[in-house]
Structure 1
C-alpha cells in the first residue's frame, strides 16, 4: 500500500478528479430508483401525469450527468493508472541500472523482467478495478441501506443481513485464495526463467537432441502454474455462485414480505421496485468488488516484489557527489594498491594483495589459468564490485572518491562475451560516443580490423544488427565491440579476453594497429593466449587470485614458473595442432 501511495502522490489532482467523477455516477445510479418509485406511485390522474413528465425529465438529466460522469471518470481512471504503471516501470528500470552484478544476480534477469512487465501490469489492472469497483462500495452500501430503512425497516434489516453474509463469505474466500496468488507469482518467475533459457539456448538444445527434456521442463512449469491458477479460480467461482444465490434469495424474500403489505395498502408498488433496485445495485457492486478483491492478494504480492527491488540498497553507491579535478598529465593512469577482494557470499578471497600500475602509453597484460580472477580485476576497475581491502587509484584518486559516471567516462571496456544491440552498426559504434562522425566510426573500425567487412556489406555502417549481434560471426562481433571501445578515446582501455575469436593473422594486425591508436592512453589486456600479450610492456601473472609474477615476456620466462607452464602448454598445443 505504501508503494502505491508513493506513486499516486505525484498525481493527486487526477486522483481527486477521478473520485469526484465516479461518485457523480454512483449518486445518479442511486437517485434514479427513487424517481422511478415516485413515477409508479403517482397514480393515473392529470396531476399525476404532469408529475410523471417532470420526473421523467429529471431522470433524463440525471442519467445524462451520471453517464458523462461514468465516461469521464473511466477515462480519468485509465489515465491515472497508466501514469502510475509508467512511473513504476521507469523506477524499476532506473534502479536496475544502479544494481551491481552481485545485486542483479540476487533477483535474476527473468525475475526483473517479470516484475517490470507482468507485475506492474497486474498492479495497474488491480488499481483500475479497485477505483472503479471497490471505492464506490461503501458509499453505495451506506446510502442504499439508509434509503431502504427509510422505506421499510424490516426489509432494511434483511438487506443488511444479506450484505453482511456476502462480505463474510468474501473474507474467508479471499483469505484462502491469498496464498495461491502469492504462489502464482513465484511460478510465473519459474516459467519465465525456463522459457528464457529455452529461447536463448535453443542451439544447444538442438545440438544435443534434448528437445524432449526441455519440453518436459516447460510442460512441468506450465502445468504447475495452470493447476494453481485453477485452484484459485475455483474459489472465485464458488464465491460467485453463492453471491448470485443470496441475490435471488433476497429478491424472492422481498416479494414475499411486501406482498401482504401492498395488499393492505402499507407498501406501494413503487417502493418495492426502489428497494429491489437498491438491493441489486448493492449486491452488483459487492460482486464486482469480490472479483477485484480476489485479484488483490496477487497485486499486493506484486507490490511487495517491486518494493524489494526499489528499496534494495545497491552494493555499489556513489560515496561523493563532486568529481575530482581532471588530471590528464598523470603518468600512472590506474594503480592497484594492495587490493584484495572477496565476494559477499564466499568464504575465501578471489583476489589477494594485488599491486601493479597501468601507465599512459604502455600496455599491461593479465594472464592466468581458469578461475585465477582475471575478469574480476576488470570488474573492480569498473566498480562493478568494490575492493574488500586496499584501493584502486585513477589518476591518483581513489575510484570510490568519484562518481561512477566520472570513472566510466575515463574507461573503455570490451567484455569477454561480445554483445551488440539491435539497430545498425553505426548505432552500436556510437554507443560509446553519440556524436562521433562516420569518418571516426570507420577509422575505429579499420583499427579493429572490421573496416573491410563493413564496407563489403550493402548498407555499410547502416547495416542491420540483430539483438546480441546474432547475424554476425563471433570474430565479427568481437571486432565491432573493439571498434565501439576505440570510438570513445578514453584514458584506459580494458580488453577482457577480447581477441579469443580472432585468428592469429587478424590478432597480430589488430595489436599493431592498437599500439599506434592507444599511444596516449593506458591499455589493460586480459588474455589466455600468450601470443596476444607477449609484446606488452608488463605482464601480470595471476595464480589462484595472487600475483605469481610481474615483468616482460622475457623476464617472466626466466623467473616465473606459472608463466612458463602456461607458455609451454600453449606452445605444445600449437605444435600438436
Structure 2
C-alpha cells in the first residue's frame, strides 16, 4: 500500500486542505455538547430565555458551519481519491503496454483487467474513506475523551471497561474477515476469466452445443464467488450489532452512574447530557476507525496485486549504452546467425541453429508444420522475444542494439490473427501511420485488394468497424491488416500467415501488387499454403524448430523430403508429379 501512495504527491495541498477543514469541522461539533450543557445548566435552570436563545443561536451557527465544512471537505477528499485512482489506472495501462508477451501471458488478460478496474476501485474507495473518516475519527476520539474527562473524571472510568471490549471485538472479527478479502479478489479473477473466454468464444461454444457445459462452469465460479462473499459479509455482519450493543450498555451505564452522581450533587444535568454526547462521539469514532482497519487490509490485498504488475520488469528492454541506436534507417537486410530460442521455463528449444539472410526486393518464405516455430521465428525480428543464443540483425546491426521504437518504425507487421479496433476504417489504417492522408490510405487499400469492399460501404473510409471487426469477414479483416502495414512504407514487411483467409484469385492479385509497388522492401512471409509462396525467391523449411531446407520451390521439390511431403499433402497426385 505504501508504495502506491507516491501517486498522492501531486494532491498534497488538497490533502492539507481536507485535514484543515476536517479539524475545524470536528472542533465545531465538539463544541456543541458544551453549548447544550450551558443551555440546560444556566438557561433552563435559571429560566433565562435570552441566554437560551443566544446559546441556541450559537449552536445553530456552529451546526451550519460544521455542515458546510463537512461538504467542502468531502468534495476535496473525493477529488483526491478519484484523481489517485485515475493516476494508478493510467500507470498500470502504460506499464502493461511496455511488458513483453511473456509477462503479459504470465498474468493473463482477465487478471490484468481485474487489477486495473476492481483492485484500483478498492484502493480508491479506501483512500476516500481515509480522507473523510480516518482523519475525522481520531480528532473526534481524542477531543471527545479530553472533554468527557474534563466534565467528570470519575464517570470517565466507564470507558476503561467499554473500550477494551470494543477493541477485542474488532480484533477477532478482523482476524476472521481479512484473509477472505484476498480470496475474494482471486475469485473475481476466475469469474472474469471464464466470462471473457465465453464472450470471445461464443461462436465455438454454440457450434459445438457447449452452452450447458459452459453455464455449469460459469455457475461453479459464480457460486464460489458468492459463497466467499457471503462468508465475508456474515462475519462482518456481527460487527455493527456487537458495537451497538456495547454502545448501548455504555450509554445505560453512564445514565445510571450519572444519575447517582447528580443525586449526590457531584454532577449537573447539563454536564451529564454533554457527557453522554461525548461518549457517543468517542464510541462512533471507534466504530469508524474499526471499519477503516477492516477495509485497509482489503485495500492492501488489492495494492499488492497492483504492485505485482507495476514492479514487473519487462524482459525486452532497450540497452542502456552509448552504442544503442536511437534512430535507425534500414535498407532491409535481415540476418539470422545461429539463432537458438526457448520460451521461459521451457526445457526444449523452440528454434535451434537458424541461419539465413533476407534481402531487399526479395521474398523470403517460411513454411513448416503447425507448431514448428514459424511465427516465433518471425517475432524475433521486431523483438517480441529475444534470442537465447546467436543473433538477429538488420543491416549488420543486432536488433538488441536498436531502440525498440526505432526498430519497429522500420517494420510493417501483419499478425496471424487480424486485429482491428473499434472505430472507422480510416482510424484503423492510421494505426499504421498516424498522419496518413486519405489518398495514401486509398492507395494502400488498393494494393491490399481492400479498396472495392471499403468504398462500396455507404460511408467509405468513415465506415465504422465493430469491436474486433465483427462486421467484416475473415478475408476482409486480413486485407485491412495488410493495408495498414503497407501504409507504413517500411523497409521490412513481416506477414505471419496473413493470406490464409483469401481465395486463390485475390491471393495472386495481392502478391502481384506487393511485388510491383513495394519492390525495394524485404518480405518475410510465414505461410501454410504452398501456392502463396511458390514464387518466393527463397523458401525456408522449418521442422520441429530446426531449419531443414533452404532454396526455391523447384530446388526444394527435387531434394527436400519435408517440403515434398508438404506439397504432396496440398496437391493431387497429378499436380505433385
Do Structure 1 and Structure 2 share a fold, with TM-score over 0.5? Answer: yes
1:308: which partner in 2?
Answer: 308
Q: Which runs of 5+ in 2 are unaligned?
A: none
Could you say if the C-alpha distance between residues 537 and 420 of structure 1 is closer, same or farther in structure 2, counting changes exceeding 3 Å?
Answer: same
Measure, in 2, the Cα distance between the counterparts of 1:174 and 1:44.
46
Could you say if the C-alpha distance between residues 326 and 256 of structure 1 is closer, same or farther in structure 2, counting changes exceeding 3 Å?
Answer: closer
1:3 Cα deviation after fit: 2.6
1:181: which partner in 2?
Answer: 181
1:237: which partner in 2?
Answer: 237
Q: Does 1:324 align with 2:312?
A: no
Report how many aligned residue pairs link the two structures: 575
1:243 Cα deviation after fit: 0.3
Alignment map for 1:25-40 (pairs within 5 Å): 25-40=25-40
SS in 2 for 1:119: helix
Could you say if the C-alpha distance between residues 46 and 171 of structure 1 is closer, same or farther in structure 2, counting changes exceeding 3 Å?
Answer: closer
Contact kept? 2:494, 2:523, Cα under 8 Å: yes
Alignment map for 1:239-388 (pairs within 5 Å): 239-320=239-320, 324=325, 328=329, 330=331, 333-388=333-388
Alignment map for 1:375-454 (pairs within 5 Å): 375-454=375-454
Query: What's the TM-score, normalizing by structure 1?
Result: 0.96
Measure, in 1, the Cα distance between the counterparts of 2:198 and 2:229.
23
Bigger drift between 495-504 and 354-363 goes to 354-363
Aligned Cα RMSD in Å? 1.8
Could you say if the C-alpha distance between residues 439 and 113 of structure 1 is closer, same or farther in structure 2, counting changes exceeding 3 Å?
Answer: same
Measure, in 2, the Cα distance between the counterparts of 1:265 and 1:403.
85
CA deviation string 1:529-554 (max 9, x = no partner)? 11111111111111111111111111
SS in 2 for 1:111: helix
1:573 Cα deviation after fit: 8.6
CA deviation string 1:19-70 (max 9, x = no partner)? 1112222221111111111111114587944443433333233223322211
Q: Which runs of 5+ in 1 are unaligned?
A: none
1:109: which partner in 2?
Answer: 109
Contact kept? 1:557, 1:564, Cα under 8 Å: yes
SS in 1 for 2:385: coil
Could you say if the C-alpha distance between residues 347 and 522 of structure 1 is closer, same or farther in structure 2, counting changes exceeding 3 Å?
Answer: same
1:286 Cα deviation after fit: 2.3
Measure, in 2, the Cα distance between the counterparts of 1:43 and 1:62.
19
CA deviation string 1:193-227 (max 9, x = no partner)? 11111111111111111111111111111111111
Measure, in 1, the Cα distance between the counterparts of 2:276 and 2:140.
14
SS in 2 for 1:225: helix
Contact kept? 1:145, 1:159, Cα under 8 Å: no
Measure, in 1, the Cα distance between the counterparts of 2:495 and 2:411.
11
Contact kept? 1:170, 1:239, Cα under 8 Å: yes
1:58: which partner in 2?
Answer: 58
1:164: which partner in 2?
Answer: 164
Could you say if the C-alpha distance between residues 132 and 164 of structure 1 is closer, same or farther in structure 2, counting changes exceeding 3 Å?
Answer: farther
SS in 1 for 2:487: helix
Contact kept? 2:326, 2:406, Cα under 8 Å: no
SS in 1 for 2:338: strand
Bigger drift between 186-195 and 134-143 goes to 134-143
Measure, in 1, the Cα distance between the counterparts of 2:425 and 2:574.
35
SS in 1 for 2:432: coil
2:211: which partner in 1?
Answer: 211
Contact kept? 1:320, 1:401, Cα under 8 Å: no
Bigger drift between 537-546 and 18-27 goes to 18-27
Contact kept? 1:321, 1:403, Cα under 8 Å: no
1:81 Cα deviation after fit: 0.4
Measure, in 1, the Cα distance between the counterparts of 2:22 and 2:207.
59
1:20: which partner in 2?
Answer: 20
Query: What's the TM-score, normalizing by structure 2?
Result: 0.96
1:133 Cα deviation after fit: 1.7
Contact kept? 1:374, 1:542, Cα under 8 Å: yes
